């Protein structure tokens, strides 16, 4: 039996990726996709890659009808304002925004700079990284997607923090322009954006709150973010200062024990070649997180490199992975794309 699914907020990059994935899912029928700006227009007007795949038209959010499952791909702040209505429309719901990622109202106010509209609902959504919360996601009714920068950092560092071998971690991500969404701004204007290597959040990034929530509130994580001249992808370079003298064999063991059975995590560490470490370009359109590492022989530093497609494992792909768990499908259903080379 097919699951009747709708998307609230389908005209952005994340919503478009989600629609692409759901149209290819063998157990899903896409009923409605909303956009206030493009209501009444074919979805292919905004997502031309879907020509020939669907004849759906956008509808207004007030025209949404009850369904089996609802994805929210709305701007931050919108889901919390309409939570009761959205919950009344479907027994299953995934919110891709940041509205319900944190479980503490005080933490939300500290990191987002405003009071949460529905503080009592924080903690009722399961944090949606399957490799972290698989058992809780399976069969849950409410799941929140994780932030893309948080996802790539948490997956890169989690085995080390679980083992208790981290003294401090300093993380810098290099992110593609699609992370900023599809709303035009001075920063996205081509003469200003092309060729840029722009530090846009050297401190205080709100995704750090998610890292602390998963890795531990006392985790010593320093985080910075830089925009670079690619469209999709994130590369996190994590300088981990170890509290124990682990050699590479011991590090390998930690990562194999943590991720050896994970469908969407690949340990990438070759001795030669240009792709001996994770490369975001190879992950475009895929749900993989590639992780590699190298031990500094002259200090207690371990460099961990992790990479994802921010629109996939950082947003729509991970949401579909959680949906599959919630609905009883095989976890990788609709997510088999292996990527392209060359790109």
| Contact (CB, 8 A) for 286 and 97 | no
With b meaning 16 or more CB within 10 Å and e meaning fewer, what string describes 86-120? Answer: beebbebbbbbbbbbbbebbebbeebbeeebebee
The CA–CA distances, whole Å, from 302 to 54, 219, 249, 266 equal 47, 16, 12, 18
Residue 190: CB atoms within 10 Å: 7
Name every residue whose Cβ is closer than 8 Å to that of residue 48 and which is 6 or more positions away in sequence: none
The angle subtended at Cα 308 by Cα 305 and Cα 312, nearest 5°, is 170
Catalytic hit among 59, 148, 238, 289: 148
Look at the alpha carbons of 280, 313, 231, 337 in this order and tell me if their dihedral is positive or negative: positive
- Can you say whether residue 87 is alpha, beta or left, with left for phi > 0 and alpha for psi between -120 and 50 degrees? alpha
Which residues are bridge partners to 308 per DSSP? Answer: 234
148 is an active site residue: yes
Residues 6+ apart with CB under 8 A from 249: none
Return the sign of the alpha-carbon dihedral for residues 304, 161, 150, 284: positive
Strands 58-59 and 3-8: unpaired
- As annotated, the active-site residues are 148
């Amino acid at each position: 039996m097919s699951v009747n699914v709708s998307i609230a907020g389908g005209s952005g990059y994340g919503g478009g990726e989600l629609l692409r994935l759901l149209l290819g899912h063998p157990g899903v029928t896409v009923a409605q996709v909303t956009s206030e700006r493009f209501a009444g227009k074919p979805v292919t007007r905004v997502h031309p890659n879907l020509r020939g795949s669907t004849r759906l038209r956008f509808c207004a959010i007030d025209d949404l009808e009850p369904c089996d499952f609802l994805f929210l791909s709305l701007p931050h702040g919108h889901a919390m304002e309409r939570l009761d209505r959205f919950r009344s429309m479907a027994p299953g719901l995934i919110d891709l925004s940041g509205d319900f990622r944190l479980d503490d109202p005080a933490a939300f106010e500290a990191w987002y700079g405003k009071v949460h509209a529905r503080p009592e609902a924080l903690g009722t959504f399961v944090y949606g990284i399957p490799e972290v919360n698989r058992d809780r996601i399976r069969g849950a009714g409410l799941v929140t997607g994780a932030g893309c920068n948080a996802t790539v950092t948490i997956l890169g560092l989690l085995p080390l923090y679980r083992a208790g071998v981290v003294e401090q971690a300093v993380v810098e991500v290099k992110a593609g322009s699609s992370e900023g969404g599809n709303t035009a701004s001075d920063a996205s204007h081509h003469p200003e954006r092309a060729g840029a290597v722009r530090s846009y959040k050297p401190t205080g990034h709100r995704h750090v709150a998610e890292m602390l929530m998963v890795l531990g509130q006392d985790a010593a994580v320093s985080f910075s973010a830089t925009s670079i001249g690619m469209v999709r992808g994130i590369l996190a370079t994590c300088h981990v200062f170890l509290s124990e003298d682990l050699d590479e064999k011991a590090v390998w063991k930690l990562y194999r024990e943590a991720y050896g059975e994970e469908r969407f995590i690949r340990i990438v560490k070759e001795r030669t070649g240009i792709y001996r470490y994770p490369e975001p370009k190879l992950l475009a359109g895929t749900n993989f997180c590639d992780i590699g590492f190298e031990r500094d022989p002259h200090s207690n530093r371990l460099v961990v490199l992790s990479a994802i497609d921010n629109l996939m494992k950082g947003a729509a792909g991970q949401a579909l992975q959680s949906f599959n768990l919630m609905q009883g499908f095989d976890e990788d259903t609709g997510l088999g794309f292996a990527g392209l080379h060359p790109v």
